[in-house]
Structure 1
Amino acid sequence: MARFEAEGLNHGSSGNISVRAGSRTLITPAGARAANLTPERIVALDIEGALCDGGADVPSTEWRIHTEIYRARPEVMAVVHSHADNCVALSCHHRPLPPFHYMIAGFGGDEVPCARYQPLGSDALAFAVTEALGARYKACLMASHGMVAVGTSLSQASDLTVKLEMLARQYLLARQAGEPVLLSEDELREVHRRYGYYGHSRMPR
């Protein structure tokens, strides 16, 4: 939470973070912010959202988004939901973030999808986000709301949150000069191929 507030990715008590811990979900409590969050305040839930331990805090309003993602995606170990400014601004158009930049491919597909609008804290919103992520996407926008990123670790989910906010900002800047040129299917296919070598000592020529 402190990192996100310091980098302007969250404001006040908006947004929430969770990690999978065996059969439980450990999630930030409702109203949490960096200044008042302690390890003792983290809330433990089972996959149905029932409290696992006693405590004074209640889970984030959006707890169902987290448990539904964990239910649908066994490889996901952490979920970040943020109200980062540029992601929120872009989400208000109710459209995916298109492939204006090759780094879009790092989120699992040829765009970053946008989950359809549903009321905050509702089961319908949790289902919409899980549907938008599908089996392969690592992040999505949430129409007129914000964004969600998932990862095999909290570090990965956090890094993807930062990356998506950066790309959303760059796309909005590019739009000020006109409609950006989007990468073609062939160009994206090559980007995905090269991402397969990402982190290796040599990239294909």
Structure 2
Amino acid sequence: MASKINLEHPRDQITKIISRIYKRGMTTTSGGNISIIDSQGDIWVTPSAIDKGSLMPSDIVCVKKDGTIIGKHKPSSEFPFHKAIYDMRPDIKSVIHAHPPALVSFSIVRKIPNTNVISQAKHVCGPIGYAKYELPGSNALGEVIAEEFKKGFKAVIMENHGTVLGGSDLDDAFQRFEALELCARTILYGSQIGKPNYLTDAQIEQFEAQTQSDYPEMKQTDFPSDEVEKRLEICNIVKRSCQQGLMISSYGTVSMRWKDNDFLITPTHVNRWDISIEDIVQIKNGKREEGKNPSRATWIHQEIYKRNPHINSIIMTQSPYLMAFSVTNTFLNVRTIPESWIFLQDIPSVAYGTHFKTNNNTQIIDNCSTALIIENDSVIITGDKLLQTFDYLEVAEFSAKSIVLGTSLGSMVPIDDNQVEDLRKKFLT
């Protein structure tokens, strides 16, 4: 997946990613560490005991290939296992270690999350290893982790500790980190409302085998001011979705109708955190902008726009509480508070696989509701203005979260039919 972060200095890359992890609540002020090994064999790593919430590029430490330490701080106390991984796996160029709550939950009950819970997660994360407990910062911990990486794993659950992930670069490691934590949260939240269902390897392979794009290229593309304005809107909403935990770097599609049935859509294989207006793909008269590959879900967006003239923007994503309903096939009853039902009405779901182009599912396209859940895959939100559609996504996720959290208190008591009818008469007629 393409990322612009590799063009930055290792100290800037590390600072950017640790900030994302901290702001998303996936590590603490003192917890977690990140490293990059450069082409010279020098290792750039976060410092020991320095606030992760305000880390600056100048705080990053460089441990030279000969062991010399350059920087104003000590390297992370967990540096030994970072080095052990690099020594064992020359293909690994970056390592992330953190204590995200859901993955820590798995580590303390000594289980590995099953990535078959979401269609593309297994492809992003790969198989998951498991390292037995050893003293933090010890050479023994480095040895047990390195042994797991020796087996070919790039993601490892650390017993009673957290997780460690490697990648071909920092962007690759972070995508794996985000996807694995999303899987863990989805399983945890899903287990509170039902029993998570898992896809077979064959179903996941079927998803991965879908063609990237069968849209012919335009010979010439025009970029009038109104088109460029929509590109900027899409980029802002994608980044906001990532910041709010409603989208991850490896998954999420946003589109806006431009003129008639022509529209703009996010590309495939481009990191959502770093998306720019140049990455957005124009689809005009059934053709794609030259040199760009639109999302694999482009056909769904195109058909929705064709058959639903009132819809002018679409968000397709995986947010953790909505995914809990997706993977358990549990009905998401948004008759929780008036606002939820007014915005969303009842949310249908469709079976996994019905979103593949070969099925051309009419429930997704012809009877397109404001929100629709695809089992073990995603949620589709539609609306007029893109900000409105994003608001619907937030309302849906908040409603799902309230229901999941409320299960510990008792059974949900929804607004009754008479109250819903009153809402319909006042707000929808």
**TM-score bracket, shorter-length normalisation:** 0.7 to 0.9
The answer as to whether partners of 1:94 and 1:116 remain within 8 angstroms in 2 is no
> How far apart in 1 are the matches of 2:64 and 2:191?
43
Q: Using CA pairs below 8 Å that are at least 6 residues apart, which structure has the higher relative contact order?
A: 1
Give the match for residue 122 of structure 2: 104
Alignment size in residue pairs? 197
For residue 165 of structure 2, the aligned residue among 125, 146, 149 is 149
SS of aligned partner of 1:113: strand
Match of 1:115 in 2: 131
SS of the residue 2:157 aligns to: strand
Gaps of 5+ in 2: 1-17, 215-295, 297-355, 359-429
Q: For residue 176 of structure 1, report the CA deviation from its aligned partner.
A: 2.8
Structure 1, residues 70-103: CA drift from partner, whole Å, max 9, x if none? 1111111111111111111111112222244142
Q: Is the 8 A contact 2:61 2:72 kept in 1?
A: no
1:149 aligned counterpart, secondary structure: strand
SS where residue 96 of structure 2 aligns? Answer: strand
Match of residue 45 from structure 2:
27
Contact 1:47–1:71, Cα closer than 8 Å, also in 2: no
The 3-state SS of whatever aligns with 1:176 is helix
Query: Equivalents in 2 of 1:124, 1:199: separation in Å?
Result: 46
Which residue does the alignment assign to 2:99?
Answer: 83
Q: Which runs of 5+ in 1 are unaligned?
A: none
Secondary structure of 2:44's partner? strand
In structure 2, give the amino acid aligned to 1:89. Answer: S
The alpha-carbon deviation at position 4 of structure 1 amounts to: 0.8
- Determine if contact 1:73/1:135 at 8 Å carries over to the other structure: no
Q: Which amino acid aligns with 2:100?
A: A
Which of 19, 22, 33 is the aligned partner of 1:16? Answer: 33
1:69 to 1:193, Cα distance in 2 relative to 1, 3 A: farther
Q: CA deviation at 1:56?
A: 3.1
Percent identical among aligned pairs is: 27
TM-score by length of 1: 0.83
1:139–1:160: 8 Å Cα contact kept in structure 2? Answer: yes
> Which residue of the partner structure matches residue 60 of structure 2?
42
Conserved 8 A contact 1:15-1:83? yes
1:133 and 1:192 map into 2 onto residues whose CA distance is: 24
How does 1:56-71 map onto structure 2 within 5 Å? Answer: 56-71=72-87
